[in-house]
Amino acid sequence: MKKMVEIPAVVKRKYPNLFSPLKIGPNITLQHRIILSPHWNALVDPTTYLPNENFYGYYKERCEGGVAWVIFPNSSPSGTEEYYPATTMGWWRDEVVDAIKKTIDMVHSYGIPCSAQFSMPGNHQTALRALKCLEQRGHPWSGTMFNRTDWMEQVGLQELTEDDD
């Protein structure tokens, strides 16, 4: 197993719960409770859905830094939906699975479990479709809160002024 940063004993004493093991289900025990939560990291090619050249190194640095669990960012299991491709890996493609396997194997070599956040895009739209929709119906929050109040009526709010009782 590869070595990661050693947490100083004084830190472990100060935060005993944070740095104590945590059992998750019957087969996974985290070394402590610091996880790398799923987040957008701009490490996926928006045209191929493949992790880019920095993906592996990004997760390797986090493993060496001592995280206890890696959760890969929001990913789509289906290539049949439209979604924001720059934010997700295309797990439905064999090339993506092959590319990420190298990173998964590296994470496991540190004794760190990993998982992925999967979601179906649902009602997400492409950026172009979202802009067309906003153009057609207007965006209630454009402008500033000081010069736009027309949106308030749409959500049933009254404007408060200094003369109101």
pLDDT one-digit tens code per residue, 107-116: 999 999 999 9
Q: What is the pLDDT of residues 47-95, one digit of tens each?
A: 788 888 899 999 999 999 999 999 998 887 776 655 555 557 778 788 8
The answer to whether the CB of 124 falls within 8 A of the CB of 83 is yes
The domain limits of the chain are: 9-124
Specify burial of residue 89 (Cβ count, 10 A radius: 0-12, 13-18, 19+): buried
Contact 14, 53 (CB under 8 A): no
Section 11-23 average pLDDT: 93
Report the alpha-carbon distance of residue 59 to residue 149 in Å, rounded.
45
pTM (2 d.p.): 0.69
Is 70:63 a contact under the CB 8 Å cutoff?
A: yes
Which CATH fold would you assign to the domain 9-124?
A: Transcription Regulator spoIIAA (3.30.750)
Residue 146: predicted pLDDT: 47
